[in-house]
Amino acid sequence: MNTTVIKTTDLPQAFLEVHPHNLYLYCKAYAAGLRANTAQTKNRSAVSGGGKKPWAQKGGGRARAGSTRSPIFVGGGVAFGPSTNKNYDQKVNKKQKKLALYHAIAEKVANEKVFVVDSISIESGKTKDATAFVNELGQRDVLVVKEMIDDKTFLSFRNLQNAYLIEPNELNAYLAAAYHSIVIEKAVFDKLTKEA
């Protein structure tokens, strides 16, 4: 495996002039988009029971009450529960997405965590061969970017906990920042830097 460690000098100037706040905004929006939005509670209309007026309107010396399912009663509904139709999406425009990716890659390059290889291909389709490929790099976990994923390579990387195989169109700033290091095919890296 012919591996080249990318240095800062190999990057276009556009990668090095990005403000880090772009990466923060993108990661924040990405994480917000992953929220399931399934938190819910039962309000007074959803709690069972409470059809009968608990006591007479007047004459008992107590405050008037129409239902025991009111939030002030034990067993009543929740007064101000979480909204079930809340939209957590945060807008990040195309330019910011690109700048965030540039900064994430530049940070990895500064720490010598970007490896360019001529080709990533595990023809046997065996997980042990993919494991050997990752172990050869000596990194904690790797994001593997391959131009076109074939079936055998996909199968070999599928069950690895310390490697994630993607195609260039799936590459984003969040993944680039989250993984300890990046392994990328030369053709993909050249295209990425050429667009800057």
- The string of pLDDT tens digits covering residues 109-159 is 999 999 999 989 999 999 999 999 999 988 999 999 999 999 999 999 999
Q: Helix (H, G, I), strand (E, B), or coil: what is residue 125?
A: coil
**79 to each of 47, 148, 169, how far by Cα in Å?**
12, 53, 45
- Same domain? For 72 and 161 the reply is no
Indicate whether 108 and 156 sit together in one domain: yes
Q: Give the least confident one: 25-29, 47-51, 95-99.
A: 47-51
pLDDT of the residue at 84: 78
Do 54 and 29 belong to one domain? no
pTM of the model: 0.80
Question: For residue 60, what are the domain limits?
Answer: 41-81
CA dist 121 and 71 (Å) reads: 62
Kindly state whether residues 108 and 28 are assigned to the same domain: yes
Question: Residue 1: pLDDT band by 50, 70, 90 thresholds?
Answer: low
Once rounded to an integer, what is the mean pLDDT over residues 49-71?
Answer: 92
Residue 54 has pLDDT above 70, yes or no: yes
d(CA 178, CA 23): 11
Domain match, 62 and 153 both: no
